[in-house]
Amino acid sequence: MKITFVGLGNMGAPMARNLLKAGHQLTVYDLVPPAVAALVAAGASAAKSLREAAGGAELLITMLPSSPHVRAAYLGADGLLAGVAPGVLLVDSSTIDPQSAREVAAAAAAHGNPMADAPVSGGTGGAAAGTLTFMVGATPEIFARIQPVLAQMGKNIVHCGASGNGQVAKICNNLLLAISMIGVSECMNLGAALGIDPKVLAGIINTSSGRCWSSDTYNPYPGVMEGVPAARGYTGGFGADLMLKDLGLALDAAKHTKQPVVLGAAAQQLYQMFSARGAGAEDFSAIIKLYMAGQTS
Amino acid sequence: MKITFVGLGNMGAPMARNLLKAGHQLTVYDLVPPAVAALVAAGASAAKSLREAAGGAELLITMLPSSPHVRAAYLGADGLLAGVAPGVLLVDSSTIDPQSAREVAAAAAAHGNPMADAPVSGGTGGAAAGTLTFMVGATPEIFARIQPVLAQMGKNIVHCGASGNGQVAKICNNLLLAISMIGVSECMNLGAALGIDPKVLAGIINTSSGRCWSSDTYNPYPGVMEGVPAARGYTGGFGADLMLKDLGLALDAAKHTKQPVVLGAAAQQLYQMFSARGAGAEDFSAIIKLYMAGQTS
Amino acid sequence: MKITFVGLGNMGAPMARNLLKAGHQLTVYDLVPPAVAALVAAGASAAKSLREAAGGAELLITMLPSSPHVRAAYLGADGLLAGVAPGVLLVDSSTIDPQSAREVAAAAAAHGNPMADAPVSGGTGGAAAGTLTFMVGATPEIFARIQPVLAQMGKNIVHCGASGNGQVAKICNNLLLAISMIGVSECMNLGAALGIDPKVLAGIINTSSGRCWSSDTYNPYPGVMEGVPAARGYTGGFGADLMLKDLGLALDAAKHTKQPVVLGAAAQQLYQMFSARGAGAEDFSAIIKLYMAGQTS
Amino acid sequence: MKITFVGLGNMGAPMARNLLKAGHQLTVYDLVPPAVAALVAAGASAAKSLREAAGGAELLITMLPSSPHVRAAYLGADGLLAGVAPGVLLVDSSTIDPQSAREVAAAAAAHGNPMADAPVSGGTGGAAAGTLTFMVGATPEIFARIQPVLAQMGKNIVHCGASGNGQVAKICNNLLLAISMIGVSECMNLGAALGIDPKVLAGIINTSSGRCWSSDTYNPYPGVMEGVPAARGYTGGFGADLMLKDLGLALDAAKHTKQPVVLGAAAQQLYQMFSARGAGAEDFSAIIKLYMAGQTS
């Protein structure tokens, strides 16, 4: 299949490589020449412009940093919609606000191009291993058509409903994840201060009503689990600044829909405070350091 | 076994009944005559005073509303320690602050009585069905001795470490539970406002990193799950005012150990705000109503 | 002086009237015909388009609801900059984000038009009475030139520094105002619950370190002061939804500058929760109702 | 007048000295010998026990660290009530919870001793200069009798209503003060990040609706005011840990009266977080450092 892939950053590059491995004929585009060169060395063709990249594709995938990038790439005068043939499927895997996703998809539809939003979770590790989760917002027909290709880059391809709902699922999940992670941090730290062995406490919580992914799979308290960022100085994993970005999207969406998110807002501010200490590049579970006396990042 | 059971409220009465069913010779005490009469009708003997209740027991169990009650019952001039024979095991299943639990246990030890704190979770339903979880703070020796009896009232008997740690586990778990429940409420409500089907959203979260007990087992959003309080008008379950009480214990413990609990404090205030609306008797998952426009309790 | 005034809403209309009273030759523009008709009846001329409105003006003033309106009005293909003569002074009195204010001012400067941001406080009452406060972001030269005209619509004309700083002052002040108002609400309510006479408490605070405008000039507790919204069922004054809008601007600005604003975020969410109860049209001091048992809006 | 003064700490010692200067015959008591010796050197007599200290007094004043100290000092078997003659006036200037103040006052009344709670503000500087503010909870008769003596130690002697209301006024004021100080910190920091001169911003706020004592008298932003802790490295003033103590009293009182205090709870946690960084001895306005990137205490 002739696929065009736009956006070869930390996530996009390994995703594109997996499409090459799967045997697709890949055209790539990025503003950073070495990123393009690396993919060309792996067998892809380079396009000189977005418009050119879009021409000839049977499927077009984008992986960009933020809403303005996505809007510009698709809607710009020399952008993807200007170059793509009607009927070609479009997939945006960027994590952006649902409203923008829906607006771009509506513009694509008006141009004759079915479009899906398909943000991912799983990090750079999952991108390289091809084990990402894709949260897809699209009609059932579009979903059915893109599912096989997404499955070459990921393990779980989840249909979240109509256009924009992939983004909704992503930011709602991460809103809850941030709250849970801080909740586990407060809980573990309080327990330790009160004299219980953190491992014992985690064991009890994990079989009780406090059970959550942040506790049983990704516990932030040092020494409780192996193989998690807390066991390796909070390196690797999902960076605190990326969580802060997603919280920003969730809080913006809450503002626009007039939904209160009290703990979500507090979580955003705590991550902001943490990031302001210069620790934004650490794994997001390092937020527990805010709660530890004498700990600095 | 000759067991004395003090405190025949909504939790204590069904727990005591399960001990009768298990064949123990039970002496009971409570300030409310009908509560005593009901147990006597079921085969228990009534004691006229705490001191009398404590005499002759081989094991003494208390289930009381708060720290002052526990302190008074054990340490009062005519209290349990005044009447109990040295060597008799003491088990307090009340949910109280760890510091009080440790002080009463120390006083008991000075009197020659090994003591365990063993607060429960599982609610009145679990108390009646004998499926409670007991979180036990005691030496391994004491734990080994009381475990078989607790197993006649509960399903999971968890050793949490030394004296007081049963209380620590209970309040830390419930601190996290309150945060998670509010987090799920914010997440589900935001998602619905953004246009995703709440059932679909819950399904995605439950297999992703936002997964937690409040989402996959006790989802507060109406229509997402069956058999939960949200499916029956938030009746039954674990009352919001009980959660508020446990949050009070957690926040007090945090204050005394000088641990920040930012989300925990917000959760406490939200439950306080909810309770002030007159909704404290509803299930604690009804906190989601704070987030729903036009919803009053 | 030939002045063009764009935006004849609740604030803009009385401001424009005061310019008429001061003897200026006024051209007006608004999308709502009756709003235009009312000013024409008072002596203004109506323009048929933004571009036409801008032509011939010696000074151009806008009073619009939000950033997108301001951007569109000035920067649109048929907008104000397209019609205005180089050198004409531009004043935007809308409350918008500082970044947008600076970008529009830069575009105006590139077109040869000096521009000031001059958001106001004082409400519709102040607009009618000509007692508004103007917070002005502009060079000293621009400030000196527009100050006399602004003084015909307001009482305090404050120079806040360079372009955008009028907006900065406005949103920072209102951020603090929202926090103070909620703080006073919590303080007064707690005091009343603890048995002190609210009037006595307010009197003490107002001469002590808790003193603030929300307490000594605009106390939200019913019965403490006369002539404030709390004395007339929270009608009149500064609407809760307007405060919510300004908090949104402040929180967005905080996000973009990566500044934590923990209490500010909580204040935003509490106003959102209050607004979701359907009370957004009440005065912003009615937020105290969130804290009063049994109170609904 | 024969006055007994109990509690010669940082506040009590200079207060007692002012009574000596005013010509009273002073008996003092404290557990720390050098504190007693210093007052004896200044002309006071030392009592060997609380009971002895209470005997012979015409007025008895206490200044102690917390509720348990006050309860023990008055109600202990060998405490002040055991030694004082009926009819002697009692004044407790400690800052404690209103409930304890009322209980001790009730016990004193039962013993025939009228009692007032009279906590102070003004810090050690005010105590030395005799410029404290006393917030007095007592009947008008008691207030009238003690007012002249308190006026020898303070400048503002405020009658707050019946027993306990001095404490209520103190903790409610300080609750609001903490919220305001953090609000000002967020506001000033955000403004600076957005490019306004902090001095200009403070000037605008101080004449606008954000005006408050924390902004116009005690501004925490470095360089805005002279003569405040922010101008001398946050030394002197009112320590963050003392504010944390008062927030603890306010939050406890809120819990017991079932009043939500959402911002108050957040303020408490932020001060707790600040204190956990080892900065509790700095002035409470140093909380602004939590908001400054790269700032550590």
Residues in chain A: 297
Choose the closest CB to C262 out of D165, D184, D266.
D266
- In the predicted model, is pLDDT for residue B293 greater than 80? no
Q: For residue A115, which amino acid is it?
A: M
The pLDDT of A199-205, averaged and rounded, is 96
Q: Is the dihedral of CA B247, B250, B256, B262 positive or negative?
A: negative
φ/ψ bin of C126: left (φ > 0), alpha (ψ from -120 to 50), beta (otherwise): alpha
Which is it for the CA torsion C67, C70, C72, C77, positive or negative?
Answer: negative
DSSP string for B126-178: HHHHT-EEEEEBS-HHHHHHHHHHHTTTEEEEEE-SSTTHHHHHHHHHHHHHH
pLDDT tens-digit readout, B89-148: 999 999 999 999 999 999 999 999 999 999 999 888 899 999 999 999 999 999 999 999
Q: Is D196 close to C254, i.e. CB distance below 8 A?
A: no
CA distances from residue C159 to A212, C16, C120, C147, D203 in whole angstroms, order as listed: 53, 22, 12, 9, 11
Q: Is the pLDDT of residue A241 over 80?
A: yes
Q: Which of C96, C187, C207 to mutate to test the interface with D (most CBs of D within 10 A)?
A: C187
Catalytic residue among A21, A170, A245, A289: A170
Structure tokens at B222: 């109406």
CA neighbor of B92 nearest in space, from B188, B6, B3: B6
Nearest one of C208, C172, C219, C173 to D177, comparing CA atoms: C208
Check if D260 contacts B (Cβ < 8 Å): yes
Respond yes or no: is residue D258 known to be catalytic: no
A265 interaction partners in chain C (CB closer than 8 Å): 265-266, 268-269
- Over residues A172-192, the pLDDT tens digits come to 999 999 999 999 999 999 999
Closest CA to B193 of A260, C268, C271: A260
D268–B265 C-beta distance less than 8 A: yes
Residues of C in Cβ contact (< 8 Å) with D291: 259-260
State how far the Cα of D30 lies from the Cα of A192, in Å rounded to an integer: 37
Task: Compute the distance between CA of residue C153 and CA of residue C93 in angstroms, rounded to an integer.
Answer: 11
| CB-based contact A273 C266, cutoff 8 Å | no
Q: Which among C226, C253, C124, C247 has a CA at the least distance from the CA of C177?
A: C247
Amino acid at C167: Q
Quote the tokens at residue B204. 């995605």
CB atoms within 10 A of CB D141: 8
Q: Is A262 on the interface with C (CB under 8 A)?
A: yes
Average pLDDT over residues C138-157: 97
Residues of C in contact with D201 (CB under 8 A): 160, 168-169, 172
Mutate to test the interface with C, among A243, A251, A273, A287 (most CBs of C within 10 A): A251
Using CB atoms, which chains have 3+ pairs under 8 A with C?
Answer: A, B, D
Backbone Cα Rg of chain C? 20
Residue type, A127: A
Six-digit token string for C168: 């900065």
Q: What is the 3-state secondary structure (H, E, C) of chain A?
A: CEEEEECCCCCHHHHHHHHHHCCCEEEEECCCHHHHHHHHHCCCEECCCHHHHHCCCCEEEECCCCHHHHHHHHHCCCCHHHHCCCCCEEEECCCCCHHHHHHHHHHHHHCCCCEEECCEECHHHHHHHCCEEEEEECCHHHHHHHHHHHCCCEEEEEECCCCCHHHHHHHHHHHHHHHHHHHHHHHHHHHHHCCCCHHHHHHHHHCCCCCEHHHHCCCCCCCCCCCCHHHHCCCCCCEHHHHHHHHHHHHHHHHHHCCCCHHHHHHHHHHHHHHHHHHCCCEHHHHHHHHCCCCCC
pLDDT recorded at residue B294: 59
Bridge partner list, C137: C117
Instruction: Kindly provide the b/e burial profile for residues B29-66, where b requires at least 16 CB atoms within 10 angstroms of the residue's own CB.
Output: bbeeeebbebbeeeebbebeebbebbbbbebbbbbbee
pLDDT, residue D109, reads 97
Residue with the larger pLDDT of the pair C125 and A288: A288
Closest CA to D198 of D223, D233, D226, D227: D223
Residue A280: closest C-alpha in chain D: D293
pLDDT, tens digit, for every residue of B169-203?
A: 999 999 999 999 999 999 999 999 999 999 999 99
Evaluate the CA torsion angle B25, B30, B33, B34 in order and state its sign.
negative
Contact B179 A186 (CB under 8 A): yes
* pLDDT at res. A294: 59
User: Angle at CA C99, nearest 5°, toward C98 and C104?
Assistant: 100
Query: What's the confidence (pLDDT) of residue C123?
Result: 86
The answer, for D204 touching chain A at a CB cutoff of 8 Å, is: no
D106-165 residue pLDDT tens: 999 999 999 999 999 988 889 999 999 999 999 999 999 999 999 999 999 999 999 999
CA–CA distance, D272 with D247 (Å, rounded to integer)? 10
Q: How far apart are CA B143 and CA B150, in angstroms?
A: 10
Q: Any chain B CB within 8 A of the CB of D255?
A: yes
User: Which residues are CB-neighbours of C55 under 8 A, at least 6 positions away?
Assistant: C83, C84, C85
**What pLDDT band is residue A236 in, cutting at 50, 70 and 90?**
confident
Enumerate the β-bridge partners of residue A45: A27
Question: Which chain D residues are within 8 Å of B254, Cβ to Cβ?
Answer: 272
Contacts across the C-D interface (CB distance below 8 Å): 242
- What pLDDT does residue D124 have? 87
Confidence of residue B297 (pLDDT cuts 50, 70, 90): very low
Query: Nearest-CA neighbor of A248 among A49, A72, A54, A97?
Result: A97
Quick one: pLDDT at residue B295?
Answer: 58
> With an 8 Å Cβ cutoff, are A293 and D277 in contact?
yes
Cβ(D35)–Cβ(D57) under 8 Å? no
Residue B192, H or E segment: helix B165-193
Do residue B194 and residue A200 have CB atoms under 8 angstroms apart? Answer: no
Which residue of chain B is at minimal alpha-carbon distance from D252?
Answer: B252
Unique residue bearing structure tokens 């140093």: D286
Considering only the beta carbons, identify the residue of A193, A204, A262 that sits closest to B169: A204
Q: How far apart are CA B245 and CA B255, in angstroms?
A: 15
The answer, yes or no, to whether residue B163 has pLDDT greater than 50, is: yes
Q: Is the pLDDT of residue B296 over 60?
A: no
Contact residues on chain C for A261, CB-CB shorter than 8 A: 269
CB A62 within 8 A of CB A94: yes
pLDDT at C193 over 60: yes
Q: How far apart are the first and last CA of chain C?
A: 47
| Tokens 């933004």, residue located | C50
Phi and psi torsions of A118, nearest 5°:
-145, 65
Answer for the pair A20, A42: CB distance below 8 angstroms, yes or no: yes
Between D39 and B297, name the one with better pLDDT.
D39
Crossing angle of the two packed helices D262-274 and C165-193, in degrees rounded to 10: 110
Query: Does C35 score more than 60 pLDDT?
Result: yes
Task: Answer whether residue C297 shows pLDDT above 60.
Answer: no
- Residue C183 and residue D187 in contact, taking contact as beta carbons nearer than 8 Å: no
Q: What are the residues whose beta carbons fall under 8 Å from the beta carbon of C81, sequence distance 6 or more?
A: C54, C74, C75, C107, C108, C111, C113
What is the arithmetic mean of pLDDT over C186-190?
A: 98
Contacts of A211 in chain B (CB under 8 A): 212-213
Contacts of A294 in chain D (CB under 8 A): 276-278
Asked if D268's CB is within 8 angstroms of B276's CB, the reply is no
Mean per-residue pLDDT of chain D: 96
Whether D273 has a pLDDT exceeding 60, the answer reads yes
Q: What Cα–Cα distance (Å) separates residue C256 from each residue in C65, C98, C163, C188?
A: 21, 11, 18, 34
Residue A271 to residue A266: CA distance in whole angstroms: 9
Chains with ≥3 Cβ pairs under 8 A against B?
A, C, D
> Per-residue pLDDT for A159 more than 80?
yes
Residue D293 is predicted with a pLDDT of 74
The residue to which tokens 């700990």 are assigned: A295
Pairwise CB contact (< 8 Å): A269 & C262: yes
* Structure tokens belonging to residue C172: 């920072």
Partners of B135 in beta bridges:
B158
| DSSP conformational letter for B278 | I
Q: Do C177 and D209 touch (CB under 8 A)?
A: yes
Alpha-carbon distance of B121 to B262, in angstroms, equals 24
- Residue of D244, D258, D269 for testing the chain B interface, max B β-carbons within 10 Å: D269
The answer to whether the beta carbons of residues A243 and A185 sit under 8 Å apart is no
Nearest Cα to C286, choosing from C194, C222, C195? C222
User: Residue type at D244?
Assistant: L
First to last CA, chain A: 47
Report pLDDT digits (tens) over D202-254: 999 999 999 999 999 999 999 999 999 999 999 988 999 999 999 999 999 99
B135 in contact with A at a CB cutoff of 8 Å?
yes
Distances (CA, A) of C50 to B3, B288, C40: 88, 47, 16
Q: Give the orientation angle of helix D165-193 with respect to helix D98-110, to 10 degrees.
A: 160
pLDDT confidence of residue C124: 87
Cα distance from A219 to chain B (closest Cα, Å)?
12
- Sequence-ordered list of residues with C-beta below 8 angstroms from that of B172, at least 6 positions apart, any chain: A187, A188, A190, A191, A194, A196, A201, A205, A210, B250
